[in-house]
Every structure is written in C-alpha cells, then in structure tokens.
Amino acid sequence: MFSRAAARALKSQSRQFSSSATRQSKVAVLGAGGGIGQPLSLLLKLNPHVTELSLYDIRGAPGVAADVSHIDTNSEVHGYPADKLDQALEGTDVVVIPAGVPRKPGMTRDDLFNTNASIVRDLAAAIARVSPKAKVLVISNPVNSTVPIVSAVFEKAGVYDPAHIFGVTTLDVVRAQRFLAGVTNSDPKDVKVTVVGGHSGATIVPLLSQTPQGKGITGEVYDKLIHRIQFGGDEVVQAKEGAGSATLSMAYAGARFTGDLLRAINGEKGVVAPTFVKSPLFEDQGIDFFSSNVELGPNGVEKIYPLGEISAEEQKLLEACLPDLKKNIEKGKKFVQQS
C-alpha cells in the first residue's frame, strides 16, 4: 500500500520544480532498466522541465517507458532496446548515464572499473556522434574515472566542451546533509553542506566548517560523521546483502542534479551545486577534474567557485584526497588512450 509518507515525499519532490513556462527539453536516460535507472526515470517524469523522456538500456527500457508513460504529467516517454541507441539520443539536450554494474559486498568503486569503463566509453562515443552538444551527466561509477573517460572520448571525436560534462556527486551532498542533521537534531532542509574532491571514499571531502550546524562538531563525533559520509555506500551494500547498492538514494540525487541543471538551462540564475567537472582549482598539481561548487547556466558550467576558507581537519582530508583522485583520473584517461 502506498504510504502517506511516500505520498508527501512525492508531493515535496514536485514542489521543488518551477511551474513557470519552460523550454522544450529532451532528456535521455542510458541504463533506464537498472536499479538506479528505473526510479530515476520515474522522478524525471515528474519534472515539468522535461518535455520528452528517452529511455534506453540493453534490456527492459521499453517496459519501463510503458510503465512511466502512464504518469499524468505533461511529457512524452519513449523506450528503446539495445539496437536503438542512436534513435534514443537524437535531439537530446541532456543525457544522464546510470548504466553499468552495481557494487556488491567487498567491492570498491575501482573494482567496477573494468566493466563500467567499457560501457561508459561506448555510450560516450554514441553521444559524441549523435548529440555532441548535449549536456552529459555521469552517474556510472567510478565517477572519478568515468568522467575523464567521457571527456577523453569527446576530445577524440573533436567535439569536447568541458562545460557540458558533469560527474553527479550529489549523493555525497545528500548524505552529508542528512547525517549532519541527524547528529545535530536539525531539519535536513535547513542544512547546506558543500562536498568537494571526488566521489569515492577518501576523495570525498565534506566542508562541515562552512555550515552553521557543522562548526561545532569535533573529536570522535566528527571522525565518525566524516567516515559515514565518505563510506555511506558501504552501509547500503552490506544492508542489501548482495542484492544491490545505493539505487534509490542515487536516483533521488541524480534527479535532483538533473533538475538543477534544467532550471539553469531554462534561465534561472544563481543555481549552484557541487559537481565533478574539468576544473582549474588543482590543475597545478596535475589534477584537472575536481568537484566543487559550480554555478550552472544555459551552457552548463558557468563558473567554478574556489573552496573558500577550510578548517585544519578539512585541509588534512583534502591532502588525503588529492593523490587518490589523481590516480583515478589518470586511470580513466589511460583507458581511453589504450582503447
């Protein structure tokens, strides 16, 4: 039975979206039949900025499309099987990629690399060929490597625009805000946390000192909170006992970031969110992709913000992040060079 709490959550989700006139926006989900793709498709169907939803997967996408198409919002939904990728991508403004295998107990994001790297490379090649000007939102892990893979594929194809390619790190923000709210007995909607760095383990750097609720967190409570934010995915993988990873919360986070980008594409000013993009912030250390607060606009990335003032503890976290992040980025680039 559909609970009242779930109904309220959906109503709240709908309220996040503007009801004002919107431009035509076609959004494609590549991997729509999977654990993230299905709920993500549902949430995108609720977004009035989406006028056409194109769902693709190697199996199951037409069925998901048929199901989602019955929802009474004003967007058209089409599903495409494995051999119709080009048709799924034609005329798309935004492409979201949750495709790939999920994590299982004992697996790290790096363990996913060999399988997911090939999937993301091939999908990126199709996007570069069919819809080279689309904004590409990468969910497939390991994001620290898959975003450089997509970028390198676009560069090889001669259509690379760094303002158009995003790694979705919003789940780190969602977890940080929820977990900090729990520790401080706050309402999560009043807690705003910037999370920088990358999107796995020690590369995730929450800047708790920049939010009022986080300033006073110290000692063991701080250490446990940081660890939970960085390794929250493990919590879900273990709880699901091998049946999957963080699919529902990731779908929510993916829909939220897609919604932010669509609002900016539609002309809303001041839309700022952390995301993993081509960045100059640590380029002098050989790290040319980094997640930080980014202002979004009609062209994608409009402005990359510096980190601002950080605490001594956050500086240590950053120092631990950078070497791992550099290796992850180089691994992605090397994969495309050798392909």
User: What tens digit of pLDDT does each residue of 68-102 get?
Assistant: 999 999 999 999 999 999 999 999 999 999 999 87
Tell me if 33 is assigned to a ligand binding site: yes
Distance of alpha carbon 296 from alpha carbon 268, whole angstroms: 9
What distance in Å separates the CA atoms of residue 316 and residue 320, rounded to the nearest whole number?
6
The pLDDT assigned to 21 comes to 53
Tell me whether residue 121 is annotated as binding. Answer: no
Residues of the chain with pLDDT under 70: 1-22, 103, 107-110
Active site residue 199: yes
Of residues 49, 78, 164, 199, which has the active-site annotation?
Answer: 199
Q: Residue 34, annotated ligand binder?
A: yes
At 339 the pLDDT is 85
- Is 140 known to sit in a ligand binding site? yes
Q: Is 269 exposed, middle or buried (0-12, 13-18, 19+ CB in 10 A)?
A: exposed
pLDDT at 22: 58
Closest CA to 92 of 59, 127, 125, 65: 127
Q: Using an 8 Å Cβ cutoff, are 221 and 183 in contact?
A: yes
Beta bridge partners of 273: 294
Whole-number pLDDT of residue 14: 47
